[in-house]
Structure 1
Amino acid sequence: MRIKTIPSIWLSDEGRRLDCGPYMTGAKEAKKIIDDCLLPKKELKDFLVNRAKGAFHAGREGRVWVKEERYGVPFMGSVDIIQANLDRLPLISKEQVSRKPLFKVFKDWVLITRSGTIGRMTLARQEMDGHACSEHVMRVVPNPEKVSPGYLYCYLRSKFGVPLVVSSTYGAIIQHIEPHHVINLPVPIVDKQLEEKAHELINKCGDNRTESNALLKKAGQLINEHFSFPNKLALSHRIFTHSAASSSLVQKRMDATYHDRVAQMSDDLVEQAGAEKTLAELGVNTGESGRMKLVFTESDHGVPFTTSGEIFRARYEPQRFLAKSKLGDVADWGVRQEDILLARSGQVGGIIGTGVWADSRFENAAVSVDVIRIKAQESEVLPGYLYAYLMCTDVGYRQLIRSAAGSSIPHLSSDDVLKLKLPRMGTAEEKAVHELVQKAGELAAEAQKLEDEAVKMVEDAIEAAAPKH
């Protein structure tokens, strides 16, 4: 529970609102700094295409989903806009999107979550251009002749912008904001050179993330082409199928998804690729945190902690920290660079069976019990090659997901993961794949540094122009 004493004038300023929203977010303090700032200011709508109409959302409408890419447009929900990888997005009907073009978003638009968890935002990068997006995401469309989109994004995402955006939330259960709540927000006008520099850094950040995903996709394609794997296998867990399996296999597992046709097809493809050794036989290990009481503390005395959902975000920024004194040996819980972080639980078709490459940002961090740490650094196989096979090919994904067990919340076990057989390419080819994955991780880490630098630059300029109290 948070308690704060406020002056009565604040109630008058906010139209006698008695809910906590406008007063507990830091918005009043941020607005005072902006108001007192000596920089010239304009309202947000003055920098948008079509002024007040430059902030909008798609509006409510039932969605028509399709399965084939030729009939659909990738659809981003409010969670997807902050994710690093957009490869597994659902597809909404092209026909529906053509009837309602408000669904689409384009490069250099500022996207802000407007319901539920409000105020998460991103600047649409190249790989998002033309995607459809949920009505729970507000589109803010900068006019590039009046403001650099990257600068506007930096300001809105800064420690001044976010409190102002979220201060107008309303709703007792599921909170919302509307476009008319943000179009009158004050926006400081900084030096043109600084504005362009911030935009340049944010553009580079977006380019890095797009290139990082392209490299991961290329790594998967190299494996698919080498072994003649199909790019996509049918999502058999969502359709009715039947198959026959040998009695010896049924004695090991009796759940239908383990023996369905697509699972058997993935087995045949792996066998045809000449896979002989299991991951365990290749020297691959796994690490699990195990179930324990989580004791959280301040960041200065703790270890960064992320859940299985948070590891997939474009920005690695843990909000909780585990007490070091309760964790024991770092080898038992710590993430190492080049670990493969595998989401082990959730509904099939969601994040379970997918994972991320642990770049330098994850070093010595902690992850929840719902993440398996796959470690191949001291094995016979290069970690990047193993990652590309498991996470960037559909055959690898099907091999992982078929072993999910549990009637309510399916989960994967380390033992089942280590029993998987790995198809091998030549030494030089595996190294090339490994280096693509390494480079992708470096670009993702650099992207966050560039974004942080740009936002800090804008914050410093505003603070420098504000009178010291």
Structure 2
Amino acid sequence: MKVASLSNPVMSDWLADQGLRLDASPYIAGSLEAKKMLERLPDTVPLASVTSGHNGGIFNGPMFRRVYLTDPEHSVPFLGTKDMMAADLTGLPRLRKSDATSAALSYLQVKPGMTLISCSGFNAGRRAYVRPDMGDCWSSQDTLKVEPNPEKIKSGYLYAFLLSRFGESLVRGSVYGSAVKHIEPHHIAGLPVPRFDEGLEERIHQMVERSAWLRARYQAGLVAATKDFFSSVGLSELNDIRWHQERDLGFEVSSVGPISLRALNFAPRARRLVERLDSVPGAKLGDICSSGQLSRGIRFKRTDSDPEHGVQLVGQRQAFWLRPEGRWLRASTTPAEVFARDETILVAAQGTLGENEVYCRPILVTGSWLQYAYSEHFLRVVSGDPEIPGAYLFAFFRSEVAFRLLRSLSTGGKQQDIHEGLRAEIPVPLAPPADRARIAQTVRYAYQCRDRADVLEDKALALLTAAIEEAAG
């Protein structure tokens, strides 16, 4: 249960400011407190006065029938409220291009520099910045687009304010609804945006822009590493597999052992991929990890804690976001086994077979992400061979080929898991040592870019927060 702070009690005039809303959210979530603090600043302007574009620059879109395709020539990447938080945009669903470019939906194409705000669902109010590599994406009607007017405000500065604790309080305080949360454009049009001297706003803007560029560089680096992986082992045709162009309508299996009787585990399309991987020099995944780890994480008792004395636990969904929002657990009672060693690959190992689910998608734990704890729902892949680094393996695991192979090894009922025996038999092609080192370095540099992007974003937020607090006295 949330209660109002005794140092900042809810005042009767706040009710009038909020249109006599009687739900507790805007009064105890910090929205009114932030607004009152911003009122003490010498210069603030309404959000709608610094935006431009469709509907004045703050808009979502109509509900429409979504038709998804897989052919890149006839589709465009499509961002939902969860997808806009993703670090790696490779696996985005794709909307039919003829629909996306129609007069009814063409304005839903996002532009670099926009701020995206999730406006429907349980997690309404999340914000994301449109990076340089997202300009060919469309967004759903469940996402508010805030398009800054470049003649009035810098895009990076506006995003930094909306992302800050002040912007978060104001945006989340605008949320309406009970079971299904919702925000409409007019709910945030009047949010007070603080203005400072041009030099300060430019510094904050440049930090955010540099951060966005580094995240785009991270994405490009991972894509390049995977392409280099298959080219280096002589399987460049696997860089562009068209999984859905064929179907496994019916097939025979000559011999079935005691390991599995499930047809999915013997699907011809997956078997053909295994044959191609086996046709070049390589090793079985189980052998590579024999002195490392190839198993699920441990279960443990979870004791909640505050961030000051805790460690953040990252689950399957948040692991794929730019910044995780995991639960905080008491550090003293969290076992060491839930942390990951450097260059551990974590594969989401429980879930359903929906095309856009994270089940069987991987992340690499390195850099700043070594501080987090990870739930037992991940398959941990740790190389035991120093000649086969985890960064090299990750270039393979993030590919469409590895994703489809892992999915074909599913076992279970409603909640799928990756078959313990079959996963060890996955063939991993091994490039010459020099190529392995180059591919691994490409992946490592990509993650260094990502960590640097986070640092710059944090610096921008700290600079803005300090300026607001100082101006408010």
The bucket for the TM-score relative to the shorter chain is over 0.9
CA distance in 1, matches of 2:384, 2:199: 45
Aligned to 1:55: 58
Return the offset for 1:51: 9.0
Aligned to 1:181: 187
Of 12, 15, 21, the residue aligned with 2:16 is: 12
Aligned to 1:34: 38
Counterpart amino acid of residue 270 in structure 1: L
Matched, 1:351 2:351: no
Counterpart amino acid of residue 367 in structure 1: Y
Aligned to 1:3: 3
Aligned to 2:213: 207
Aligned to 1:154: 160
Matched, 1:280 2:284: no
Residue 111 of structure 1 contacts residue 137 of structure 1 at CA under 8 Å; is this kept in 2? yes
What secondary structure is seen at the aligned counterpart in 1 of 2:444? helix
Residue 405 of structure 1 contacts residue 411 of structure 1 at CA under 8 Å; is this kept in 2? yes
Return the offset for 1:374: 1.6
Aligned to 2:116: 111
Distance 1:306 1:281, change over 3 A: closer
Return the offset for 1:102: 2.4
What percentage of residue pairs aligned between the two structures are identical? 27
Distance 1:287 1:443, change over 3 A: farther
Return the offset for 1:238: 10
Distance 1:133 1:52, change over 3 A: closer
Distance 1:274 1:51, change over 3 A: closer
Residue 37 of structure 1 contacts residue 463 of structure 1 at CA under 8 Å; is this kept in 2? no
CA distance in 2, matches of 1:112, 1:151: 16
CA distance in 2, matches of 1:284, 1:218: 27
Alignment of 1:71-220 (within 5 A): 71-99=74-102, 100-116=105-121, 117-220=123-226
Counterpart amino acid of residue 262 in structure 2: D
Alignment of 1:253-402 (within 5 A): 253-281=260-288, 283-286=291-294, 288-316=296-324, 318-328=325-335, 330=336, 332-348=337-353, 349=355, 350-376=357-383, 379-391=386-398, 393-402=399-408
Counterpart amino acid of residue 78 in structure 1: T
Counterpart amino acid of residue 2 in structure 1: K
Residue 382 of structure 2 contacts residue 390 of structure 2 at CA under 8 Å; is this kept in 1? yes
Return the offset for 1:16: 1.2
Counterpart amino acid of residue 181 in structure 1: H
CA distance in 1, matches of 2:347, 2:313: 15
Counterpart amino acid of residue 163 in structure 1: S
Residue 346 of structure 1 contacts residue 352 of structure 1 at CA under 8 Å; is this kept in 2? yes
CA distance in 1, matches of 2:409, 2:317: 20
Distance 1:199 1:165, change over 3 A: same
CA distance in 2, matches of 1:297, 1:183: 36
Of 249, 252, 256, the residue aligned with 1:244 is: 252
What secondary structure is seen at the aligned counterpart in 2 of 1:351? coil
Comparing 235-244 with 393-402, greater Cα deviation is found at: 235-244
CA distance in 2, matches of 1:121, 1:252: 46
Comparing 368-377 with 182-191, greater Cα deviation is found at: 368-377
Residue 344 of structure 2 contacts residue 382 of structure 2 at CA under 8 Å; is this kept in 1? yes
Distance 1:50 1:389, change over 3 A: closer
Distance 1:453 1:413, change over 3 A: farther
When normalised by structure 1's length, the TM-score is: 0.93
Q: How many residues align?
A: 461
CA distance in 2, matches of 1:198, 1:281: 46
Counterpart amino acid of residue 11 in structure 2: P
Structure 2 unaligned residues grouped into runs of 5+: none
Distance 1:233 1:405, change over 3 A: farther
Distance 1:153 1:75, change over 3 A: same
CA distance in 1, matches of 2:3, 2:20: 19
When normalised by structure 2's length, the TM-score is: 0.93
Residue 57 of structure 1 contacts residue 102 of structure 1 at CA under 8 Å; is this kept in 2? no
Return the offset for 1:163: 1.0
Residue 107 of structure 1 contacts residue 129 of structure 1 at CA under 8 Å; is this kept in 2? yes
Residue 270 of structure 1 contacts residue 423 of structure 1 at CA under 8 Å; is this kept in 2? yes
Return the offset for 1:364: 4.2
Distance 1:414 1:12, change over 3 A: same
Structure 1 unaligned residues grouped into runs of 5+: none
Distance 1:95 1:13, change over 3 A: same
Task: Map Cα deviations across residues 268-314 of structure 1 (whole Å, 9 max, x no partner).
Answer: 11111233444335534235432233222122222221101111111
Distance 1:281 1:155, change over 3 A: closer
Return the offset for 1:379: 4.1
Counterpart amino acid of residue 345 in structure 1: Q
In angstroms, what is the RMSD of aligned CA positions?
Answer: 2.0
Return the offset for 1:456: 1.3
Counterpart amino acid of residue 298 in structure 1: D
Distance 1:52 1:243, change over 3 A: closer
Distance 1:109 1:364, change over 3 A: closer
Distance 1:413 1:333, change over 3 A: farther
Residue 117 of structure 2 contacts residue 126 of structure 2 at CA under 8 Å; is this kept in 1? yes
